[in-house]
Amino acid sequence: MTDIAAQFRALHVKGDPFLMVNVWDRGSAKMMAAMGAKALATSSAAHAFTMGRPDGGTVTRDEALTHAAEIVSVVSVPVQGDFENGFGDDPDTCAETVRLAAEVGLAGICIEDIALPSPQAYDFDLSVERIRAAAATARALPHDFMLTARADGIMTKAYDTEEAIRRLQAFEAAGADCLYAPLPPDMDALARICASTTAPVNALVAGPYTTQTQAAFAAAGVARLSVGGALARITHRAIHDAAQAMIESGDFSTLKNGISGDIIDDLLT
> Considering the entire predicted model, what is its pTM?
0.94
Rounded to an integer, the average pLDDT of 230-246 is 95
Q: What is the pLDDT of residues 70-127, one digit of tens each?
A: 999 999 999 999 999 999 999 999 999 999 999 999 999 999 999 999 999 999 999 9
Rounded to an integer, the average pLDDT of 158-186 is 98
Give dist(CA 161, CA 188) in Å, integer.
11
* Cα distances (angstroms) measured from residue 83 to each of 148, 167, 240: 10, 19, 27
Residues 209 and 183 sit within 8 Å (Cβ to Cβ): yes
Q: What domains, with CATH codes, occur in the chain?
A: 2-229 (3.20.20.60)
Give dist(CA 214, CA 180) in Å, integer.
17
Alpha-carbon Rg of the chain, whole angstroms?
Answer: 18
Alpha-carbon torsion angle 215, 111, 54, 33, nearest 10: 50
Question: Which pLDDT belongs to residue 203?
Answer: 98
Q: What is the pLDDT of residues 21-71, one digit of tens each?
A: 999 999 999 999 999 999 999 999 999 999 999 888 899 999 999 999 999
Q: What is the pLDDT of residues 196-218, one digit of tens each?
A: 999 999 999 999 999 999 999 99
Q: What is the pLDDT of residues 135-169, one digit of tens each?
A: 999 999 999 999 999 999 999 999 999 999 999 99
Rounded to an integer, the average pLDDT of 243-252 is 96
In sequence order, which ranges of the chain are alpha helices (DSSP H)?
A: 2-10, 26-34, 44-50, 61-72, 91-103, 124-140, 153-156, 161-173, 187-195, 214-220, 230-249, 261-268
Residues 40 and 78 sit within 8 Å (Cβ to Cβ): yes
Question: Which pLDDT belongs to residue 2?
Answer: 53
Rounded to an integer, the average pLDDT of 238-247 is 96
Give dist(CA 41, CA 186) in Å, integer.
24
* Cα distances (angstroms) measured from residue 267 to each of 29, 60, 68, 75, 110: 10, 31, 20, 12, 28
Question: Which pLDDT belongs to residue 56?
Answer: 85
